[in-house]
Amino acid sequence: MNKNTFGYIAIILLLALTSFFALNLFFQEKSSHDKLYISIFPYRVGEWSGKDVEVTEKEYQILETRNLILREYTNSSGDKLFAFIIYSETNRSVFHPPEVCLIGSGVEIVDKNTEEMRGDKYDFLTNKLYLKKDNTKELVLYCYKAGKFYTDNYYFQQAYLAFHQIFGRQIPGATIRVSMPMRENEEAALAALKKFLQDTIHILDRIL
């Protein structure tokens, strides 16, 4: 057997193996169901009290899942922030970069960078967006959960979840987004969002 023939056989075997795992992963995602529903996430987070924001049927169809929450939280000073969490143990296709939905809704992304998150049990980067629509400005922090990890990197989350799902492991994943109208004091808005995100991570780690 010459080298060219051996190379062709190796490529065919690799493609067959890849197809097998891809089909296996596809049918796992379509047939599996989450054991936990993120609606158990508390309405009280630190100093913030929440209420559900309506999600339309069309939005559910676009997001491809109902295992999510969209809530408005307020504190005693009347400040407001919004929390949006999509969760799944079985279907990584429900996680999307928020920029796609935001641009589609007519929101302008003025700037994007990262913000460092540090805690007693974690150290990671979260994405930071500056949004504008009409005369309203908004500050957004969002990250992805992949098992026990939190990251700003969508591709890391997808690769991590896919690897475990191939072997039949149900690993929790999530997209976590918190946002707040931004007035004159950006530092105060950023501090509030980071604290809320920290509290959210601690709650998720506990309930999951």
Residue ranges covered by each domain of the chain: 1-31, 34-207
Non-local CB neighbours of 16 within 8 Å, separated by 6+ positions: none
**Cα(178)–Cα(138) distance, integer angstroms:** 10
Output the CA–CA distances (angstroms, integers) from residue 138 to 10, 54, 78, 152, 168, in the order listed. Answer: 53, 20, 16, 19, 40
For residues 169, 36, 126, 77, the Cα torsion angle rounded to the nearest 10 degrees is -170
Mean model confidence pLDDT for the chain: 86
Q: How confident is the model at residue 204 (pLDDT cuts 50, 70, 90)?
A: very high
More confident residue, 114 or 6: 114
**Cα(177)–Cα(129) distance, integer angstroms:** 10
Q: How many CB atoms lie within 10 A of CB 176?
A: 20
pTM (two decimals): 0.83
Residues 27-65 have pLDDT tens digits of 444 445 788 899 999 999 999 999 999 999 998 998 899
Q: Which two tokens stand for residue 192?
A: 């509030």
Q: Which two tokens stand for residue 101?
A: 């939905």
Question: From the CA atom positions of the chain, what is the Rg in Å?
Answer: 20
Report the CATH fold assignment for 34-207.
Protein Transport Mog1p; Chain A (3.40.1000)
Q: Where are the beta strands (DSSP E) in 41-198?
A: 44-45, 48-52, 68-74, 80-88, 108-118, 123-133, 136-146, 149-151, 173-181
Q: Which two tokens stand for residue 98?
A: 């928020």
Residues 83-138 have pLDDT tens digits of 999 999 999 999 989 987 787 677 899 999 999 999 878 899 999 999 998 888 99
